[in-house]
A and B are shown apart, each in its own frame.
Chain A
Amino acid sequence: MTTLKPFDHGAPKNPGGCHIGLYQPILNRFLLTVNHIRDAQDIALIAASRYPLFLVNLVTADNYNENLIDNLCCENWSLPNQQITPTKLKVYANLHTIVDAEHLLENPSELALSEEKKYLQLCCYYLRRYDEIIQKNTYAWEIKKFMTEIFDFEPHPHDIPVQNLKKQIVAELFLCKDIKSTTTSIENIITKAKHDHDLVL
């Protein structure tokens, strides 16, 4: 099997770790798996410009084990019919709802889903890359973010460029029509930010 680049297996880092599947109910397939809930929520919000994705806790499935499903094969796994109901579109805007999988069904896909998997991998990759950039360039970022959400602190002028970088990257991903040109655009944005604001990459 050819792996897509960038590629993350999306499997738990440690036994018993978090493992969330991003499930597309119309295709009845998992299109991505990740090991952080926040990643899953962010990607589902971005990919909503194409289709709804539901967050499914894979670990609760009665046949789950850590080697059963990852991003090499997730499109070959489905949910049983009665499990599709909780993912009805009426609740698709509620990304805090995580459906507990009861059972995972092996269901080899005949659909051409490599472009969609590649797109979701791209979202995953750049969200993490941004996290790395902001960690390297913003002292105590998590604390500052927490305090800014609670109180009306103005961001420090030094922090504004790196915060704006996320807006630009996510906008490119949200409106992506072509993976190659989106990748080029995002790389140009990052390079320009590094040049203009001396960011450490």
Chain B
Amino acid sequence: MILYFNAAWLNHPAVKQTIIDHRGLDTFSKLTNLDKLNTSHTAWYSRTDTNQLPFKNGLIDVPGFAMPKYNPNCNLSWTDVTDQRCLDLRASNWHRPWVIFWSGGIDSTVIVASIIKNLPPADFDNITIACSPLSIWENPQFYFDHIKPNFKVVDSLKLLSEDFDSQDACIIDGEPSDQLFGDGGEYLPILYQNPELLQTDIIKNKDCAVDFIASLRTDKNFAEWYYHVLITSAHQAGVPIISLYQLLWWSAFSNAWTSVKLRFIAVTNGNWKNLKDVKSYFDKFVHWYDSDGYQQWAMNPAHVGEKIGTRVTDFKLAPKKYIYSVDKNKYYFDFKTKVGSADICPDLRSGPWCCIDHNWNLLNLTDHQDQIISMLPDHLV
């Protein structure tokens, strides 16, 4: 059984033909259009009970992939959930040393800022920061003022060249923060250059949303269908969606979360030496932002302003405020904008793996084509 299929391989002749033979051209068209929404993702899987997307969401009940039930009475602030996340992980994952992947960007800087704020300095001995010269270039003041004096530092590229099985650490990264804030992708600069679009009521003005989705290299029929998928699934989950930004956020939060949970494999497969299967990855990795607290924060419509603000430098405003409370770096606060690793390291999806099976094995079309093609029809809704 297939749990996850990498959309980078949709146009492989045998894959394409199998999908068309079993579900028709319309299903294949939906899959390829979904793939165009944000090409840094490897697939789109619904996290809601009523799945309307073309692939079955067999991962929905697996911890780390499930979406918590929305609680409109949860009013925790970003600071509350971040401080709590740090203390929870300290309580549950302290039996191994921590290795934190720090890119210099907002997501991973919040992690280190939270540790500095919430843990006693004696705990820092158990923590190593993995980073590269690019990370330091992205946020040098934080590195020289807060990381270098307090933590052991290793070169992240060197770490990836070591045997994965030899890692006896709890490895922490900044996923899936983008999904809490709505992905970023290519649409954000467009929204900030047309600020009225950010707040457009897309229930009253459906055509605006459909046209916007179609403008993301998809076609109009797909945009109509996907608009209804999003509105219906948000309604069933009880999550309020009014503005165009909220609609696009919901797309990322509900349907791209699964892809981002697996992004590290897409990025490092073949690079992290001897990473054998997905299970061993999940045994060692902790995604900092994968907690009920963060997800409840993200679903609360009162936090839209703290997610996106009004200017491009306001994106991820709440985490930027959190970092500023620790480092007081006004340049980082005033000028830092989202620069995803996908922007600096192109073609993240180019790894050879095509799908993940029910035993968490990574299968590829060179060695496992017959197996993949025989399982694929059952993976389609």
Query: Which residues of A pack against B, CB within 8 Å?
Result: 26, 45, 48-52, 81, 84-85, 88-93, 174-175, 177
Complexed CA–CA distance, A26 and B312 (Å) = 8
Complexed CA–CA distance, A174 and B141 (Å) = 9
Q: Are B137 and A48 in contact (CB under 8 A)?
A: yes
Complexed CA–CA distance, A52 and B336 (Å) = 9
**A-B complex: 5 closest residue pairs judged by Cβ atoms:** A51-B335, A50-B331, A90-B343, A49-B140, A89-B337
Query: Which residues of B pack against A, CB within 8 Å?
Result: 134, 137-138, 140-141, 144, 189, 193, 311-313, 331, 334-335, 337-339, 343-344
Q: Which residues of A contact B134 (CB under 8 A)?
A: 93
Q: Are A175 and B335 in contact (CB under 8 A)?
A: no
Complexed CA–CA distance, A85 and B193 (Å) = 9
Q: Which residues of A contact B334 (CB under 8 A)?
A: 26, 51
Q: Which residues of A contact B339 (CB under 8 A)?
A: 89-90, 92-93
A26-B312, A49-B140, A174-B140 as given contacts; A93 in contact with B344, CB under 8 Å: yes
Q: Are B335 and A26 in contact (CB under 8 A)?
A: yes
Q: Are A51 and B331 in contact (CB under 8 A)?
A: yes
Q: Which residues of B contact A177 (CB under 8 A)?
A: 141
Q: Are A175 and B140 in contact (CB under 8 A)?
A: yes
Complexed CA–CA distance, A130 and B343 (Å) = 33
A49-B141, A174-B140 as given contacts; A88 in contact with B335, CB under 8 Å: no
Q: Which residues of A contact B189 (CB under 8 A)?
A: 85, 88
- Give the dominant DSSP class at A's interface: loop
Complexed CA–CA distance, A127 and B150 (Å) = 32
Q: Which residues of A contact B312 (CB under 8 A)?
A: 26, 89
Among B312, B334, B337, chain A packs the most CB atoms within 10 A around the CB of B337
- Give the dominant DSSP class at B's interface: helix
Q: Which residues of A contact B140 (CB under 8 A)?
A: 49, 174-175
**Residue in contact with B313 in the complex, picked from A26, A50, A88, CB distance below 8 Å:** A26
Q: Which residues of B contact A85 (CB under 8 A)?
A: 189, 193
List 13 A-B residue pairs with CB atoms under 8 Å apart, sorted by A's residue number. A26-B311, A26-B313, A26-B335, A48-B137, A49-B141, A50-B335, A85-B193, A89-B339, A90-B339, A90-B343, A93-B344, A174-B140, A177-B141
Q: Which residues of A contact B337 (CB under 8 A)?
A: 26, 89
Q: Which residues of B contact A92 (CB under 8 A)?
A: 339
Q: Which residues of B contact A89 (CB under 8 A)?
A: 312, 337-339, 343
Q: Which residue of A lies closest to B189 (CB)?
A: A88
- Nearest CB on B from A79, distance (A): 13
Q: Which residues of A contact B141 (CB under 8 A)?
A: 49, 175, 177
Complexed CA–CA distance, A49 and B135 (Å) = 11
Complexed CA–CA distance, A140 and B338 (Å) = 43
Q: Are B335 and A52 in contact (CB under 8 A)?
A: yes
Q: Which residues of A contact B338 (CB under 8 A)?
A: 89
Q: Are A175 and B343 in contact (CB under 8 A)?
A: no
Q: Which residues of B contact A51 (CB under 8 A)?
A: 331, 334-335
- Nearest CB on A from B130, distance (A): 20
Q: Which residues of A contact B335 (CB under 8 A)?
A: 26, 50-52
- Nearest CB on A from B187, distance (A): 12
Complexed CA–CA distance, A93 and B344 (Å) = 7
- Nearest CB on B from A108, distance (A): 21
Among B138, B144, B335, chain A packs the most CB atoms within 10 A around the CB of B335
- Nearest CB on B from A18, distance (A): 26
- Nearest CB on B from A122, distance (A): 16
Complexed CA–CA distance, A177 and B312 (Å) = 25
Q: Which residue of B lies closest to A91 (CB)?
A: B343
Q: Which residues of B contact A175 (CB under 8 A)?
A: 140-141, 144
With A26-B313, A93-B134 already in contact, 10 other A-B pairs whose C-beta atoms are closer than 8 Å: A45-B137, A48-B137, A50-B331, A85-B193, A88-B189, A89-B337, A89-B338, A92-B339, A93-B343, A177-B141
Q: Which residues of B contact A45 (CB under 8 A)?
A: 137
Q: Which residue of A lies closest to B339 (CB)?
A: A89
- Nearest CB on B from A182, distance (A): 13
- Nearest CB on B from A26, distance (A): 6
Complexed CA–CA distance, A178 and B317 (Å) = 26
Complexed CA–CA distance, A52 and B139 (Å) = 12
- Nearest CB on B from A136, distance (A): 30
Q: Which residues of A contact B144 (CB under 8 A)?
A: 175
Q: Which residues of B contact A90 (CB under 8 A)?
A: 339, 343
Q: Which residue of B lies closest to A45 (CB)?
A: B137
Q: Which residues of B contact A174 (CB under 8 A)?
A: 140
- Nearest CB on B from A169, distance (A): 15
- Nearest CB on A from B56, distance (A): 34
Q: Which residues of A contact B138 (CB under 8 A)?
A: 48
Complexed CA–CA distance, A93 and B341 (Å) = 11
Q: Which residues of B contact A52 (CB under 8 A)?
A: 335
Complexed CA–CA distance, A134 and B138 (Å) = 29
Complexed CA–CA distance, A177 and B343 (Å) = 28
- Nearest CB on B from A14, distance (A): 35
Q: Which residue of A lies closest to B144 (CB)?
A: A175
Q: Which residue of B lies closest to A92 (CB)?
A: B339
Complexed CA–CA distance, A175 and B141 (Å) = 7
- Nearest CB on A from B381, distance (A): 34
**Residue in contact with B193 in the complex, picked from A48, A81, A91, CB distance below 8 Å:** A81
- Nearest CB on B from A179, distance (A): 14
Q: Which residue of B lies closest to A27 (CB)?
A: B335
- Nearest CB on A from B320, distance (A): 13
